[in-house]
Amino acid sequence: MNPETEYREGLEQLAAHYESILKLLGEDPERDGLQKTPMRVAKALQVLTRGYAQDPHRVLTDALFEEKYNQMVIVKDIDFFSMCEHHMLPFYGKVHVAYIPNGYITGLSKIARVVDIFSHRLQVQERLTQQIKDCIQDTLKPMGVMVVMEAKHMCMQMRGVEKQNAITTTSDFSGAFNQAKTREEFMNLLRGESKRI
Ligand SMILES: [Zn+2]
């Protein structure tokens, strides 16, 4: 099965549940605009959670290249869209990743793929940040990895829980990034011309 283009098992049941949800919300699932909604939502949800059927470690191990370069590699402003596991509402923003190779590098687009896979699962921002870091650390085995995520949470914004434009920042790091100087170098490079979300 190709999780990018095909729907997973359970699509019909998912749609049936959404029909019940519409009724419970006081809607009429038979009215024109809603007839196809349960199936559309079921398909959308399967796309938004397609990361469950994908293996982020394999994405990296399939694209390892031996390389002597041992300076910091930075991939910044990677867009991501995820869903919070508490409200099943979107949170989205930018991820910045840095790692210091230890004999191996990976394709830059593969880092973005790893972000994409983990974010297409139900998440909390803190765990998402950590999973991206761990995946890169475990597969590339670099001198260190650091991940910084900046996100807006629709569950905060739409429900008016906090300031409408609050941005939540999380970070996690390993190895060489335990040194404040190394983290600073990364943060300085990020500040450069980084766009806000
Ligand atoms: Zn939430």
CA angle 93, 52, 55 (to 5 degrees): 90
- Residue 6 has what pLDDT? 80
- For ligand 1, the distance from its centroid to the CA atom of residue 83, given in whole angstroms, is 8
- Residue 72 has what pLDDT? 95
Burial letters for 155-167: b for 16+ Cβ neighbours within 10 Å, e otherwise?
A: bbbeeeeeeeeee
Say whether 184 is catalytic.
no
| Catalytic site residue from 12, 35, 86, 184 | 86
- For ligand 1, the distance from its centroid to the CA atom of residue 6, given in whole angstroms, is 28
Say whether 35 is catalytic.
no
Please, what is the angle between helix 11-24 and helix 37-48, to 10°? Answer: 120
Q: Does residue 133 have a pLDDT over 60?
A: yes
Q: What are the residue boundaries of the structural domains of the chain, listed by start? A: 11-48, 56-191
Say whether 125 is catalytic.
yes
pLDDT band of 196, cuts 50, 70, 90: low
pLDDT tens digits, 20-55: 999 999 999 999 999 999 999 999 999 999 999 999
Q: Does residue 5 have a pLDDT over 70?
A: no
Average of per-residue pLDDT values in the chain: 93
Domain 56-191 part of CATH 3.30.1130.10: yes
Whether the Cβ atoms of residue 34 and residue 18 lie closer than 8 Å to each other:
no
Say whether 57 is catalytic.
no
pTM for the whole structure: 0.92
pLDDT band of 157, cuts 50, 70, 90: confident
Q: Does residue 3 have a pLDDT over 60?
A: no
pLDDT band of 193, cuts 50, 70, 90: low
- For ligand 1, the distance from its centroid to the CA atom of residue 179, given in whole angstroms, is 33
- Residue 160 has what pLDDT? 73
Type and span of the H or E element at 61: helix 56-61
Lowest mean pLDDT of 28-37, 126-135, 161-170, name the range: 161-170
- Residue 66 has what pLDDT? 93
- Residue 190 has what pLDDT? 87
| Catalytic site residue from 6, 30, 85, 184 | 85
Within 13 Å, how many C-alpha atoms sit on residue 31's CB side? 6
- For ligand 1, the distance from its centroid to the CA atom of residue 139, given in whole angstroms, is 30
Q: Does residue 73 have a pLDDT over 90?
A: yes
Say whether 84 is catalytic.
yes
45 token code pair:
């949800």
- Residue 1 has what pLDDT? 53
